[in-house]
Amino acid sequence: MKSFNKEQKLLIIFFLTGTVFFLLSSFGVFDGISAEVSSVLYNWLGYTNKWSHSYGPEWFVNLNGNVSAFGSKELVFIISTIFFSYLLVSGRKKDSVKFAITVVVSLIFIVLVKYINSERETVTLKELYTETLANFPSGHTFISTVLYPSIAYFLSKGVSSEKLKRFYFISAVGIVLIVGISRVTGSGHTVTEVIAGWSSGLSWFALIKFILFRYKNDKN
């Protein structure tokens, strides 16, 4: 039986940690924090207007919308297509296929999770497109937690500079964090739903990359 290397052990830790936090969020452990954060945002910023439950002035709402767009289906599609093309023209056909599989399977997975949480028997295309199927977990947060670390992962392959590798992953984590935060401050999701998105995304990212590592090692 083959032993796990350092990267595989780290992915196992990510998977277990993400799974634990997702279960905690599923059981409402963070609901108290969600209510407290919502209260603080309301007291500090107030609602944008009497017809909306978004927080703060229009510029603040627009700011949150622009940041959270990094996890939107449109920008995810554009960024994924550009990076997929980059891998292809770089002569990394196998990596491009793995990246495409990661994105596509992740999108299917989050739709299934939302469908389960919606408790609906049928789903319309409009609900899928407008992302109104279910609020739990945050879809923007989930897909950004998978997409940007995946890009960092493929960029870091074959790179000898540890500083450059750290830059890739720190940048990815930064994007993931601000997308999640913007979903809360923009009143798109509660803290519980964002934590669920982060944790499920982390577990899913770790699982996919662990499978890729195992496949690579089996081929060697």
Local mean pLDDT, 10-residue blocks, the chain (220 residues): 73 94 95 94 89 89 93 93 96 93 91 78 60 80 96 89 93 97 93 96 92 58
The pTM for the full model equals: 0.89
CB 183 within 8 A of CB 141: yes
R_g of the chain, CA atoms, integer Å: 18
Rounded Cα distance between 157 and 151, Å, is 10
Distances (CA, A) of 95 to 5, 83, 159: 20, 11, 14
| Domain segments of the chain as ranges | 6-219
Beta bridge partners of 161: none
pLDDT, residue 119, reads 67
pLDDT, residue 220, reads 43
pLDDT, residue 114, reads 82
